[in-house]
Amino acid sequence: MHFNAGTRVGPYEIVASLGAGGMGEVYSARDTRLGRTVALKFLAGEFDAGALARFEREARTASSLNHPNICTIHDVGEFEGRPFLVMECLQGQTLAGPLPAGQLAAIAIQICGALEHAHQRGIVHRDVKPSNIFITSNGHAKVLDFGIAKVAGEAAADKTVTMMTNPGAAVGTLPYMSPEQALGQELDTRSDLFSFGVVLYEMAAGQLPFTGATPAAVYDAILNREPAPLPNAALDAVVRKCLAKDRARRYASAAELRADLERLREPEPRVRARLSRRWAAVAALLVLICAALWYLARQRWAAGRIESIAVLPLESAGQEYLPDAITEAVITRLARIGSVRVVSWAAVKQYKGVERPLDAIMRELNVDGVLHGSIARPADRVRVALQLHKAGKTVWSGAYEREIKDILALQNDIARDVAREIGAHTTAGEQQQLPAAHPVSPEAYDVYLRGRYRVYRENKDDNLQAIQLLERAVALDPNFAPAHADLARAYCMRSFYFDPNDKSLDEKAFIEVEKALSLDRQSAEAHYVRGLMLWRPSNRFPHEAALREYRLALSLNPNLEDAHHQVGQIFFHTGLLDSGLLELRRELEVNPGNTMARFRIGVVLLYQGKYADALDAFRGVAREFSPARWDAETAATLLHLGRREEAAALLETSMRERVDPAGAVDAVAALRHAMEGRPAEAERLLARAEDHRAYGHFHHTAYYMAAAYAVMKRPNEALRWLQSAADEGYPCYPVFQNDELLNPIRGNPEFVAFLEKQRTDWERRKATLTLQ
């Protein structure tokens, strides 16, 4: 049965047919409730029980996944006896090759992310092939059709080997099957990686690696033949590891494969020309002469060298954003030089507009030198005047004038000149780490500065304005990498804190961060945002992968205090409390005024059972910076100290103000009522806390809920929420092991088993995370 445009299918209005196949038909439709375009996928008019089972499995499996590179299932339904899925409506085409190695690697990395997400949830796709990979019009990859996926713990639907995809068939196209799949053996995630290797080979070579005139010939090739080598040796090595006949010799995970694909995107080192023997001899003589001159010069240079420097905010009349942006950019570039300590922007911005002797500032910041100056912007040009101050005198001055479109080149020039004048030794690698300096649209740069200012204010209204401004900036200049990175950050923040139900934000952030990295592989901000995108509830907080991104960001900008903060968060969330405390203290070295770092130090002290110290830390931080978090953790600390009346007063004030997006205040209040023997009131608050489960860091709320149930001696509910906390980002074994609130359930066999599993995982993390 075909549906015409205008047909109403419940709240959906058919717009047009998108295509039909053996399994059914797909239409574009308008969701009249939400005003969005969706795709409706109807099962074919005549279907058997097998086709229906596959269709239902696709709905169940795909809807359990939430990843930017997996097609989203919004809803399911039935119309005139035909089941249908409501899916995200995609514009573009299925994957087709051959593709250049760079483009192939970029797409492959996205597909790896989708497979990794599915595999982490125990789902094996079992039908990875080009027709199940969709490339949207903006180059974004989407994995489709989980209709024959196998979920861990479920029996396999069928083990039939077939080359067709008729209704009711159990398995997809034979040329993409792994050897174990073709043999009807039990499958794991490595089977998908073999199939993906076939896709990679086909996209690179323009033909399948395993072919034959009959299914039997294809079957033999998969089991016994090796494909012809690919021209690109690096890609060939990756593909061959995917295509190993023995699954034990393949990549162990999609994350491991992704890491190798990432390396394919990195530029190859330049090949140095060889010197002839004659020129080698001349070069050797020159080296001796230069060494002698260098030794003499070094005696004078050592006396004037600056080993630590502060770059003060540039002075300006009438410029709101530009002076700070250039100051911060120069700091970031200088911070990449390993031989000099550079004070962070966060630590120096306190001196903006302040009249203070330079020598006094040097003492306060404990530096050898201070760079200060002014900036002016006549029309579409920018002028910068700088002076380098050391030991009571000016030792260098410089003046620069550029068109505003060359602002990135100006920032690089200033950093190079200052590095030379302070005697900082820069390696070739550090020189290459300077950001790309392509011309920038002046209008785009102005809009970017206004948007960037709002990104860091972290409230809902400023976040929305930041997104609007940065979207305009990248539209005006699509090649401006910093704008793409900050837009990705703004999308991430909106998804995490303000609008967790808008799944399109994750996809938008992914697109922007990948665009930023394609323009500037040395963007510390982009790697930081990639870590933010990874370490979130939809990905179940993959600690190792996020930590790699944050550490890469810090290698590019050691003063990126947000990255220090996130590394510390990963450590203390995973129970590596001493390491977390150390990283947060490093963050305070970068910015002694960082309020969030001081608050999180209090959190770590709470987890360590140092309750009096934790309370001192919390009370040393202004509540206003984050009222709900401050109230919940401070009240929990007071309860541990036996100061229940103080905790009660704090909780009641907080609940009156209704500033609890995560439900943590309700959960701690429930804990208080449980401790005081009021189970009915505790239950009411626990139910209210659960309503906040969409919030990013709900795992802390889940833990306090578990503690409340433990105090009420209800082990089943306590274990449920403990498992939820551990699975969703908070596997903090030392707290589970030592928190006295859990004592009432410690004799429960299931709790003992849970604790042993957490201990084993914690020991593994101690051996891996801290050594990354």
Residue 98 lies in a domain: yes
Residue 67 belongs to domain with CATH number: 3.30.200.20
| Residue 5, amino acid | A
| Tokens at 583, concatenated | 């990283």
| pLDDT surpasses 80 at 95 | yes
Residue 720 lies in a domain: yes
Residue 734 belongs to domain with CATH number: 1.25.40
The per-residue pLDDT for 112 is 92
Which residues 6+ apart lie within 8 Å of 109 measured at CB? 258, 261, 262, 265
Element (H, E) at 177: none
| pLDDT surpasses 60 at 273 | no
The per-residue pLDDT for 240 is 95
| pLDDT surpasses 80 at 48 | no
Last residue of a domain, one of 516, 534, 552: 534
Per-residue confidence at 637, pLDDT binned at 50, 70, 90?
Answer: very high
CA nearest neighbour of 359 among 388, 391, 387, 386 = 391
Structural domain count of the chain: 5
Last residue of a domain, one of 534, 567, 589: 534
Residues 643-700 have pLDDT tens digits of 999 999 999 999 988 767 778 999 999 999 999 999 999 999 999 999 888 766 789 9
The per-residue pLDDT for 490 is 94
CA nearest neighbour of 426 among 288, 344, 519, 333 = 333
Residue 17 lies in a domain: yes
Judgement on whether residues 100 and 241 belong to the same structural domain of the protein = yes
* Average of per-residue pLDDT across 362-374: 89
The per-residue pLDDT for 662 is 78
Residue 621 lies in a domain: no
Pick the range with the lowest mean pLDDT from 32-36, 79-83, 153-157: 153-157
Judgement on whether residues 207 and 83 belong to the same structural domain of the protein = no
Residue 557 lies in a domain: no
- Bond prior to 98 in cis (omega within 30° of 0): yes
For the chain, give the mean pLDDT: 84
Q: Which of 141-150, 324-333, 758-767 has the highest mean pLDDT?
A: 758-767
Residue 559 lies in a domain: no
Judgement on whether residues 343 and 357 belong to the same structural domain of the protein = yes
Q: How far is it, in rounded angstroms, from Cα 43 to Cα 23?
A: 6
What is the reported pTM?
0.59
Residue 575 lies in a domain: no
* Average of per-residue pLDDT across 730-744: 97
* Average of per-residue pLDDT across 332-350: 81
Judgement on whether residues 659 and 739 belong to the same structural domain of the protein = yes
| Residue 407, amino acid | I
Residue 321 belongs to domain with CATH number: 3.40.50.10070
The per-residue pLDDT for 271 is 35
Q: How far is it, in rounded angstroms, from Cα 40 to Cα 104?
A: 30
Judgement on whether residues 346 and 385 belong to the same structural domain of the protein = yes
Judgement on whether residues 162 and 125 belong to the same structural domain of the protein = yes
The per-residue pLDDT for 733 is 97
Per-residue confidence at 201, pLDDT binned at 50, 70, 90?
Answer: very high
Residue 147 lies in a domain: yes
Q: Bigger pLDDT: 748 or 380?
A: 748
Pick the range with the lowest mean pLDDT from 64-68, 513-517, 648-652, 747-751: 64-68
Residues 421-442 have pLDDT tens digits of 887 765 555 555 555 567 888 8
Judgement on whether residues 739 and 765 belong to the same structural domain of the protein = yes
Last residue of a domain, one of 470, 500, 534: 534
Judgement on whether residues 84 and 98 belong to the same structural domain of the protein = no
Residue 165 belongs to domain with CATH number: 1.10.510.10
Residues 595-623 have pLDDT tens digits of 888 999 999 999 999 999 999 999 998 88
| pLDDT surpasses 90 at 497 | no
Per-residue confidence at 159, pLDDT binned at 50, 70, 90?
Answer: very low
Q: Judge whether 451 and 483 are in contact, CB under 8 Å.
A: yes
| pLDDT surpasses 70 at 531 | yes
Residue-number span of the structural domain to which 522 is assigned: 442-534
* Average of per-residue pLDDT across 265-273: 44
Judgement on whether residues 411 and 489 belong to the same structural domain of the protein = no
* Average of per-residue pLDDT across 52-73: 76
Per-residue confidence at 589, pLDDT binned at 50, 70, 90?
Answer: confident
Residue 454 belongs to domain with CATH number: 1.25.40.10
| Residue 472, amino acid | R
Judgement on whether residues 172 and 257 belong to the same structural domain of the protein = yes
Judgement on whether residues 130 and 23 belong to the same structural domain of the protein = no
Judgement on whether residues 399 and 454 belong to the same structural domain of the protein = no
CA nearest neighbour of 454 among 468, 440, 474 = 468
| pLDDT surpasses 60 at 149 | no
| pLDDT surpasses 90 at 122 | no
